[in-house]
């Protein structure tokens, strides 16, 4: 990976961590994300009731590669991507994800 790509990745990851923290979500960038086997993902979220959530970040100029996902999701809250005999992935907008994390944290504190 070239320096420009690494720098761009760092900027996007740092921006996301800042957004999480601003909203009361405990998050941090993984040191040397992806380069060390013990830290394979880009961001770690430590939020109740989960011990930790690993986050992989992908950034593309003009969202190249994301157009089909955006079209499929359209105005829906969630896009579920199901593979027969496999795991279903869920795609959602960041504000909704933050709301879900905050709500779950509030319920564990009540």
Give the up-direction half-sphere exposure of residue 79: CA atoms within 13 A in the CB hemisphere: 14
Q: Which of 10-24, 32-46, 93-107 has the highest mean pLDDT?
A: 10-24
Length of the chain counted residue by residue: 110
Report pLDDT digits (tens) over 84-103. 999 999 999 999 999 999 88
What strands, in cross-sheet order, belong to the sheet with 53-55?
27-29, 43-45, 53-55
Averaged pLDDT of the chain: 88
> Is the pTM here over 0.85, yes or no?
no
pLDDT at 110: 62
What burial class does residue 82 get, using C-beta atoms within 10 Å of its C-beta: 0-12 exposed, 13-18 middle, 19+ buried? exposed
Report pLDDT digits (tens) over 49-92. 777 899 999 988 888 889 999 999 999 999 999 999 999 999 99
Task: Return d(Cα 55, Cα 76) in angstroms, integer.
Answer: 22
Domains of the chain by start residue, with CATH:
3-109 (3.40.1350)
* Cα end-to-end distance, the chain, whole Å: 46
């Amino acid at each position: 990976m070239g320096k420009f790509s690494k720098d761009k990745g760092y900027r996007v990851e740092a921006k996301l961590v800042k957004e999480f923290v601003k909203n009361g979500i405990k998050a941090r960038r993984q040191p040397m994300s992806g380069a060390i086997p013990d830290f394979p993902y880009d961001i770690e979220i430590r939020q109740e009731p989960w011990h930790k959530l690993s986050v992989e970040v992908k950034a593309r100029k003009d969202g190249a590669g994301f157009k089909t996902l955006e079209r499929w999701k359209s105005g829906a809250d969630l896009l579920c991507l199901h593979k027969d005999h496999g795991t279903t992935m869920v795609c959602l907008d960041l504000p909704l994800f933050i709301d879900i994390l905050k709500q779950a944290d509030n319920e564990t504190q009540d």
